[in-house]
Amino acid sequence: MTTKRLALTLLGSVALCGLAMPAFAQSGEVNIYSYREQSLLQPLLDSFSAETGIKANVLYAGDGLLERVAAEGELSPVDVVLTVDIGNLVGAEEQGLTQPITTAALAERVPPAFRDEDANWTALSLRSRVFYVSKDRVDATALTYEDLASEEWAGRVCTRPGDHAYNIGLIAHYIAVNGEEAGREWLTNVRDNLAFAPNGNDRAQVKNILDGTCDLAVVNTYYMGAMLNNDAEPEQKDWAASARIIYPNAEADGTQVNVAGGFIAKHAPNAENANALIEFLLSDEAQAIYADTNYEFPVVASAPINELVASWGTLKASPVALTEVAAHRATAAALVDELKFNEGPQK
């Protein structure tokens, strides 16, 4: 280890969970920065270490990890960064924070739409922006994203603010499929179909269904599992019980998906171990655990799906490449501002 890298290790060791000071100097280790919560990731890492003998050291943080990697530069101790949202993955590549993943499992197990064509990042699980509809007030069993803009749903739709990453991903996907002008018209009509100005988080939208203030909420799939979980607050179980999930465009071109994913850092000191970790995370065993703990979908088709998630129906994921979706995120954000989406209906 160089003197500079040792100095950085000393500075970072306090923040890294369970990490002893000399950890980065040792072989047989992999250092991870993770947006995923410890309770979600630790079972996987325990299994990885048991199988490979490689010790996993982790820094958990809700935000700022990409900025940290960029600031650390070539002295960074991190090998693998686990994050969420295609914007973060593509952003890391654009900032020069990645290096190609070399394990053959990437091309063998991950569909091209869900990985970088130059292997700079990969999806590890899928989540989808879908419709939660009232069990009591909605009879429809099949809907499309276009339906959000139809007169039938005027005053009946609710969602969190349009500039949140979840909605930016959905809007960018719509633009990727239909073009910017069609996206502008669609988003205008969706705005005017809202029951009220967007506010709150995804769970709050499901509460709105129970309260009767909207009939259709645009929410990520996994919140249903989170609200029905044994550890969830009783009131959230009531929210979830009032709604059912419809996968938009399931009978057409497929439902929009976003991802949780990862990349190997450009200056990874343990690149070989980093590739071993990515390969493990793409195994059927790990895929099942990774998706199961957060009620997501495996990115590898052969991996089993959580029984509760499977009970919501079959996800037919849109084949649009995530890189293409990411290319329209700035346009999506600009449309949200231009149309004053967060102010709610304007007619």
What is the amino acid identity at position 139? D
State residue 268 phi and psi, 5-degree precision: -55, 125
Determine what percent of the chain is predicted with pLDDT higher than 90: 83
- Give 88-94 contacts, CB < 8 A, sequence gap 24+: 88/35, 89/116, 89/121, 89/123, 89/259, 89/261, 89/263, 89/322, 89/326, 90/121, 90/322, 90/323, 90/326, 91/66, 92/66, 92/120, 92/121, 92/263, 93/120, 93/121, 93/263
Residue 165 burial (10 A CB sphere; 0-12, 13-18, 19+): middle
Fold matches, 3-125+258-305 and 127-255+314-343 = yes
- The pTM score is 0.88
* Fold classification of 3-125+258-305 (topology level): D-Maltodextrin-Binding Protein; domain 2 (3.40.190)
Q: What is the pLDDT of residue 62?
A: 75
Give pLDDT, residue 27.
62
> Which residues of the chain fall short of a pLDDT of 70?
1-27
Predicted pLDDT at 43: 85
Q: Provide the pLDDT for residue 7.
A: 35
Give me the CATH code for the 127-255+314-343 domain, please.
Answer: 3.40.190.10
Distance, CA of 316 to CA of 313 (rounded, Å): 10
Q: Where are the chain's structural domains? A: 3-125+258-305, 127-255+314-343
β-pairing verdict for 297-298 and 98-99:
unpaired
Question: Which pLDDT score, from 0 to 100, does residue 36 have?
Answer: 80
The pLDDT tens digits for 232-262 are 789 999 999 999 999 999 999 999 999 999 9
Separation CA 334–CA 171 (nearest Å)? 11
CB–CB of 44/286 below 8 Å? yes
pLDDT at res. 23: 38
